[in-house]
Amino acid sequence: MIGIKLLFTPGPLTTSRTVKAAMLRDAGSREREFLEVVSEIRTALLAIGGAAPGGDYECVLMQGSGTFALESVISSAIPPDGRLLVLVNGAYGRRIAQMARIHGIAVEMLEAPENRRIEPDAVAAHLAASPATHVAVIHCETTTGLLNPVEEIGAAAARAGAVYIVDAMSSFGAIPVDLEAAHADFLISSANKCIEGVPGFAFVLARRPALLAAKGRARTLSLDLHAQWAGLESDGQFRFTPPTHVLLAFRQALAELEAEGGVQGRAARYRRNHEILAEGMAKMGFKPYLAAEDQSYIISTYFYPRHPGFHFEEFYTQLSDLGFIIYPGKLSQEPCFRIGTIGRLEPEDIKRLLGTIGDIMNVMVNSDTAAR
């Protein structure tokens, strides 16, 4: 049996009791009340992205994880003769490129080191030398917690006439973003990230002309983005079985986001969590992978301590046994681990985690010293 543990990860996240409780009833996928829930969610998500009701953007809900919704965009939006430029400074950018290749899409990568943000000037220069019809970027690259400057990159893509795809999986709902200001044609995120719902669906906020242009381009049936939107628009229903309980939980999560003060209020809590974590880890001698100016308050990456007594698997297991789940590293080169500061976590939870890390490290270091 899985015990109750706090998740210091980039998602799935620790959720509130009330979000969990919202799933304790069944809902018919075609009943009026449930269809109203779907409509409310679509409207609320557009508002979080700064889109006006009846404006230029549409919201499409897609069953599955965030990767499913992202692949629905990649496989639906790019025409057979299109060319995708993927901006890569971590594992999730490389995943987008992999998707494109699998679907037979011409793809090129502009890469930066995993501890450096994508520079807008480099994007502009690359597009001038090697034009692309579409550009994709990760907003918060959860390989490290690094933030890419999506608005400035979007401006470069717009000047080049490229359709702009923003993977905002780990940032949407916690880091303010304005769809128009970012020049975003497609923005993708997931229910189980900063809005603090549970896994089961993701969503795409799409500029209407770009979405309409995707009609007939889909390379799959179930991930056909335009068809999914057309179905929701025609009768409010999903084309295939919707994750009813997950959507009920998400409506509650949206209400709790609003009660916290919206994106700004949630950002303030997450930022405080991060500040406490960064200060506490520094006091214990842990070295962050990223420079402070590139670091988000979503998730932080730390080098393994250079001490012979430190063993990550033991460190991870002891934390887990005591009720704290952190994340292994995902870097291609450096031995690191990650700690998330999002989800239903409060500053006191971060302090408890830090105290436990300190206790474990003291035992590891002292045990190794004694063994010598």
Domain definitions of the chain by residue range: 6-10+261-371, 17-259
**Backbone phi and psi for residue 61, each to the nearest 5 degrees, phi listed first:** -95, 140
> Which residues are paired to 162 by β-bridges?
none
DSSP-based three-state secondary structure for 89: coil
Is the sign of the CA dihedral 281, 286, 288, 291 positive or negative?
Answer: positive
DSSP letters of 240-257? S---HHHHHHHHHHHHHH
Q: How many CA atoms lie within 13 A of 249 on its CB side?
A: 22
pTM of the model: 0.95
DSSP-based three-state secondary structure for 345: coil
Superfamily, domain 6-10+261-371: Aspartate Aminotransferase, domain 1 (3.90.1150.10)
Q: Cα(267)–Cα(284) distance, rounded to whole angstroms?
A: 26
Contact 307, 315 (CB under 8 A): no
pLDDT at site 3: 66
Specify burial of residue 222 (Cβ count, 10 A radius: 0-12, 13-18, 19+): middle
Contact 199, 220 (CB under 8 A): no
Q: Cα(312)–Cα(85) distance, rounded to whole angstroms?
A: 36
Enter the tokens of residue 83. 């060319």
17-259, which class in CATH? alpha beta
Token pair 């880890």 is found at 281
pLDDT at site 370: 47
> Which residues are paired to 205 by β-bridges?
59, 187
| Opening angle at CA 286, ends 116 and 289, nearest 5 | 10
In single-letter form, the type of residue at position 235 comes to D
Token pair 């449930």 is found at 34
Kindly give the confidence (pLDDT) of every residue in the chain, 372 residues in length, as a single tens digit, with 9 standing for 90 and above. Answer: 456 899 999 889 999 999 999 999 999 999 999 999 999 999 999 999 999 878 999 999 999 999 999 999 999 999 999 999 999 999 999 999 999 999 999 999 999 999 999 999 999 999 999 999 999 999 999 999 999 999 999 999 999 999 999 999 999 999 999 999 999 999 999 999 999 999 999 999 999 999 999 999 999 999 999 999 999 999 999 999 999 999 999 999 999 999 999 999 999 999 999 999 999 999 999 999 999 999 999 999 999 998 888 999 999 999 999 999 999 987 767 899 999 999 999 999 999 999 999 999 999 877 655 444
Contacting residues for 190 by C-beta, under 8 A, at least 6 apart: 11, 65, 66, 69, 169, 199, 201, 202, 203
List, in sequence order, the alpha helices (H) in 148-190.
Answer: 150-159
Q: Cα(278)–Cα(354) distance, rounded to whole angstroms?
A: 10
Is the sign of the CA dihedral 176, 9, 65, 192 positive or negative?
Answer: negative
